[in-house]
Structure 1
Amino acid sequence: MEILDILIIGAGPIGLNCALEARKNNLSYLIIEKGTIVNSLYNYPLYMKFFSTADKLEIAEIPFISAATKPGRQEALEYYQGITRQKNININLYERVINVSKNQEIFSVETSKSKYFAKNVIIATGFYDIPNLMNIPGEDLWKVKHYYTEPYPYAKQKIVVVGSSNSSVDAALETYRKGAEVTMIIRHSEISKSVKYWVKPDIENRISEGSIKAHFNSELLEIKENSVIFKDENGKINEIENDFVLAMTGYLPDFDFLKNSGIELQGDCLNPLYHPETMETNVPNLYLAGVVCGGKDTHLWFIENSRIHAEMIIQSILSK
């Protein structure tokens, strides 16, 4: 029976960084990934631009060369998948982890294809798997999309975009420019302050001129086959014609998986318990890395500020 030094769950940028740091320190490792390499980035909108500059997205001191100041999705895919090829990272793709359990000092990791054993496990699964549902009637209709990739299917359609974050704003602007009639339903009183600074004036100007309708302090109540019902800031109930709903309401980590692995979750944001200097959870030798550490607060961690988790974790493992 082979016992790995480290089994890493998730092949996002931080999972890859953990693998490279493990290999640098002569530790045996394997990454298990349910999709493709950097699967979350693959599922981002096709024309998405990062907020960070290329140097802030680098891992393992490998230069990220980008022609643009802000690299896009395709450049990031080339960078991270290129590293995986060039460094021949030990990785199993399209294999889902079902259960992580511990017997004395050894973890048993059951997947959709096999079972593995490791002294240490790193969970670097991100938060892009589970949509943050609105839990309203009609949310399960075919026309409701919680993931947005490109604007072309929505040409000349009546679109409702829910939310005011970067993903909502990008979806609203791109579909509008491809001929959609766009209405935004926004819980808050303004466009989110976290929206990319070069995009925020664009959406605010389109709303101001009336090209994109926006209902602030409003709430979507029901989705029907050919319309939606929402409550506006005055408490009035409105029904408008609608072809598609782009519910850009955010995403959540797989909390059930974390709990079933033995990790304690705390507070309203379900923050997983871990030591901030080692990233070790309440389960000895079970670590967290990357954005999964933030619980429901998915804006707390991102590639730029969680790259350091890999070195912190490997140093913790080596110290034992």
Structure 2
Amino acid sequence: MTAEVLIEVDGVSRSFGNREVLRDVSFSVVKGEVLGFLGPNGAGKTTTMRILTGTLAPSAGRVTVAGIDMLEQPVRAKAQLGYLPETPPLNRDLTVDEYLDFCARLRRVPSRSVRAAREQAKARCGLGEVGRRLIGNLSKGFQQRIGIAQAIIHNPLVVILDEPTVGLDPIQIKEIRALIRDLGQAHSVILSTHILSEVQAICSHVQIVRRGELVLKAGINELSNHLTGAHLEIGLHRPPTALELSAIPGVDGVHQQNDRWLIHFASDADPTDALVRHAAAGDWGLYEMTRPRLSLEEVFLELAGDDRPVAEQAA
């Protein structure tokens, strides 16, 4: 059975003047998916989030939400979305109940259903005991929960969260992550973050954007495997020069790590046999050859790189 596609991004680009911030980005998000959206600062994450939520129009391409075109029918498309920006849009002078009632009305929840929608959102976000308290008197963790509650009060198909755990203490982070995992059972969730451990903890899929281009989308369990097969780590007692190693057919690049070498190669050009033959012929003293499993951080650095990203236009 084919999974239901809730977000479809097709060939989206965005320029500010003559500066291209996003370039031909395409991806989809299916029902029940928790997608971690990763990239260095300035890579295009925030611009993508703004386009997905309809607060910024693309220069080219299209976005559909549950099959509804964001540009052609923005009101209908946005009704399917819940959004938590990095700074939650809270009114600190209202009680939690007052604020959530207000958000429900903004989201066109019928008057007869506002109370039920508010109570359901509070229950899901662990806010049942603080409904009559002023938002300004609550902790940062509770305020973040309120921000999530306003994003789901109308029961949207897709929830978009921008850096949802910034500024929280470890206990609050654990609680918010558990909440996001729970949201993934009933909604599709897009999580923009630069915290790699967060992606590993709560996401089912991850995609990485670099210099305005999407460089990878994969299942979280597939991600390390994606690059594991393209690396060899070898130990040599009498190593040759890096130039000699690089000249072996199939080798794309080499990197020395103390007394070992990390060999990069294309997935369709495994140089293992050639390395063994050259090591024996050259008396390099080959004593170890392994395929290391990379951490998510190593995968991120491999794909995102250290290049200076395209500067992202401020909101």
Q: Same fold (TM over 0.5)?
A: no
Larger Rg: 2
Q: Whose helix fraction is larger, Structure 1's or Structure 2's?
A: 2
**TM-score under structure 2 normalisation?**
0.23
